[in-house]
Chain A
Amino acid sequence: QKEVEQDPGPLSVPEGAIVSLNCTYSNSAFQYFMWYRQYSRKGPELLMYTYSSGNKEDGRFTAQVDKSSKYISLFIRDSQPSDSATYLCAIVIIFGQGTELSVKP
């Protein structure tokens, strides 16, 4: 079992939809959780960074950590075609498989 599990998708939504991306992790000691966005043939770009449990909001993006269930989420509101990319959850140096998101105009 991988330490960080993520549904690879692909996930296709219409423009303006709310997108929910999720990961689970196995080690309850993990404290630092990241979400990266990766466009094709580019390096991952850090989107959000949270510590321990709770929510963190940045514009249209909200990151949520539920340590009791070892579940982390990224919500994208009012999704745009430019949000089409692969989204990777990470716990410092351990990455999930990435979810490929496509937002259709």
Chain B
Amino acid sequence: AAGVIQSPRHLIKEKRETATLKCYPIPRHDTVYWYQQGPGQDPQFLISFYEKMQSDKGSIPDRFSAQQFSDYHSELNMSSLELGDSALYFCASSFGTSGGITDTQYFGPGTRLTVL
């Protein structure tokens, strides 16, 4: 079965650079979630989209932005990167009958971002 696809899988950037992470949800899933997981940490919810509209916002820094496109894929844009942004970034998708609160999330493999 098709799963959530994230690209790139690994990314190395320098401080103050920008990065764009992409997420392709499971076909027919309309809700996308972004999480940040630091080493030894639990996933921290950043932001979610339902039907191309932002549905929930978590601890996403102002330097980050995200959107969901007409084909339901999502991109997380990160600017002015800092050393502390080094983490695994997971995307999850679900079929959102209600916009997210009860929907089972399926996680992608993650993008490992390293900021030097």
Contacts and interface: CB of A to CB of B under 8 A. Distances in A.
Partners in one complex: yes
Interface of A: 6, 8, 32, 34, 36, 41-46, 49, 51, 88, 92-98
24 contacts: A32-B101, A34-B104, A42-B109, A43-B4, A43-B92, A43-B107, A43-B108, A44-B90, A44-B107, A46-B104, A46-B106, A46-B107, A49-B104, A88-B43, A92-B101, A92-B102, A93-B33, A93-B45, A93-B56, A94-B45, A95-B42, A95-B45, A96-B42, A97-B41
B78 to A, nearest CB: 19
B25 interface: no
Main secondary structure of the interface of B (DSSP, over half): loop
A46 B43 contact: no
Contact of A42 (B43, B92, B100, B110): B110
Interface in B22-69: 33, 40-45, 48, 56, 58
Contacts of A41: 88, 110, 112
Contacts, number: 48
A86 to B, nearest CB: 9
B7 interface: no
Contacts of A45: 107
A51 B103 CA distance: 12
Report the 5 A-B pairs with minimum CB-CB distance, sorted nearest first.
Answer: A43-B107, A95-B42, A93-B45, A97-B42, A44-B107
A43 B42 contact: no
B30 to A, nearest CB: 16
B48 A32 contact: no
Given A42-B109, A93-B45, A32 B58 contact: no
A65 to B, nearest CB: 15
B79 interface: no
B114 interface: no
A1 B84 CA distance: 22
Contacts of A6: 42
Contacts of A43: 4, 90, 92, 107-110
